[in-house]
């Protein structure tokens, strides 16, 4: 007897597929090589990134140090400027105080001379005051110049009159209207004089 086979049973009994020639499947070695290459590339990138980060850190540190130097130098300059200004102000104040201190005895002498009504005592007081003034100027380093008989020098004298006088040399000062004053090479006031010939 022949067995009746149902199509379902036949379907379930499929014959094993005939072996086909091997088709090249993706080689696992190439996949691993690519992964290894990618890992290697990532490692290199990480190394390069680490090197760059180190360089950035070094540069930031250098900039920070330079900024610190700049701020320190600026602060030092500002302190120097303030100190210098104080010193200048102090020097000026000291100089003015010294001059006024030197002149005050002359003012005292003039005040004393004004108390007298007699001509002789007033004249004596004025002579003493003039001596005190000359002494004061000498202490301050001021010299008086412009004497009769000196030769006229346009750098020191201001000739306001000229007169032809026999027996006098050319450019000789014959009269002094106001003496000149100088301190070192600095002319404080030119001497006003009358010059001969």
pLDDT digits (tens, 9 = 90+) for 113-166: 777 778 888 888 888 888 888 888 888 889 999 999 999 999 999 999 999 988
pLDDT value, residue 70: 95
Q: How many domains does the chain have?
A: 2
pLDDT value, residue 22: 56
Q: Is 80 exceeded by the pLDDT of residue 26?
A: no
pLDDT bucket at 36, cuts 50 / 70 / 90: confident
Say whether both 40 and 134 belong to one domain.
yes
Whether 102 is in a domain gets the answer: yes
Say whether both 96 and 134 belong to one domain.
yes
pLDDT value, residue 64: 95
Q: Is 60 exceeded by the pLDDT of residue 85?
A: yes
Say whether both 123 and 151 belong to one domain.
no
Strand order across the beta sheet in which 142-145 lies: 142-145, 180-183, 186-189
Of 171, 169, 170, 175, which Cα lies nearest the Cα of 191?
175
Rounded to two decimals, the pTM is 0.51
Whether 4 is in a domain gets the answer: no
Spell out a b/e string for 166-186, using b for 16 or more CB atoms within 10 Å of the CB, else e: eeeeebbbbebeeebbbeeee
Q: Give the phi and the psi of residue 16 in degrees, each rounded to 5.
A: -65, 140
**Geometric angle at alpha carbon 88, from 87 and 91, rounded to 5°:** 85
pLDDT value, residue 130: 85
The CATH number of whichever domain residue 152 belongs to comes to 2.30.22.10
- Average pLDDT value for the chain: 83
Report the distance separating Cα 168 and Cα 148, nearest Å.
Answer: 11
Virtual torsion, Cα 62, 66, 72, 74, nearest 10 deg: -160
Quick count: other Cβ atoms within 10 Å of Cβ 109?
19
Say whether both 179 and 117 belong to one domain.
no
Given a contact cutoff of 8 angstroms between Cβ atoms, the answer to whether 110 and 134 are in contact is no
Say whether both 123 and 76 belong to one domain.
yes
Whether 81 is in a domain gets the answer: yes
Q: Is 50 exceeded by the pLDDT of residue 1?
A: no
Say whether both 181 and 126 belong to one domain.
no
pLDDT value, residue 24: 53
Say whether both 147 and 95 belong to one domain.
no
pLDDT bucket at 78, cuts 50 / 70 / 90: very high
Provide the domain limits for residue 114.
32-140
Helical (H) or strand (E) element with 8: helix 7-12
Report the distance separating Cα 169 and Cα 8, nearest Å.
Answer: 159
The first and second tokens of residue 166, run together, are 């026999």
Helical (H) or strand (E) element with 60: helix 28-114
Q: Is 90 exceeded by the pLDDT of residue 32?
A: no
Percent of the chain with pLDDT over 90: 42
Report the distance separating Cα 91 and Cα 85, nearest Å.
Answer: 10
CB burial of residue 191 (10 Å; 0-12, 13-18, 19+): buried
The first and second tokens of residue 159, run together, are 């000739």
The first and second tokens of residue 35, run together, are 């992964």
Q: Is 60 exceeded by the pLDDT of residue 180?
A: yes
């Amino acid at each position: 007897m022949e067995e009746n086979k149902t199509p379902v049973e036949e379907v379930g009994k499929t014959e094993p597929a005939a072996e086909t020639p091997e088709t090249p499947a993706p080689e696992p070695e190439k996949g691993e090589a690519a992964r290894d290459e990618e890992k290697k590339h990532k490692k290199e990138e990480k190394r390069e990134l680490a090197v760059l980060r180190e360089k950035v850190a070094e540069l930031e540190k250098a900039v920070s140090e330079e900024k610190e130097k700049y701020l320190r130098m600026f602060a030092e300059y500002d302190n120097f400027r303030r100190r210098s200004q104080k010193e200048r102000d102090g020097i000026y104040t000291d100089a003015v105080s010294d001059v006024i201190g030197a002149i005050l005895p002359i003012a005292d002498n003039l005040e004393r001379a004004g108390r007298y009504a007699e001509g002789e005592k007033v004249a004596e007081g004025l002579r003493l005051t003039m001596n005190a003034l000359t002494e004061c100027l000498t202490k301050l380093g001021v010299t008086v110049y412009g004497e009769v008989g000196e030769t006229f020098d346009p750098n020191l004298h201001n000739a306001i009159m000229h007169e032809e006088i026999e027996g006098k040399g050319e450019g000789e000062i014959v009269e002094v209207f106001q003496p000149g004053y100088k301190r070192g090479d600095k002319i404080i006031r030119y001497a006003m004089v009358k010059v001969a010939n």
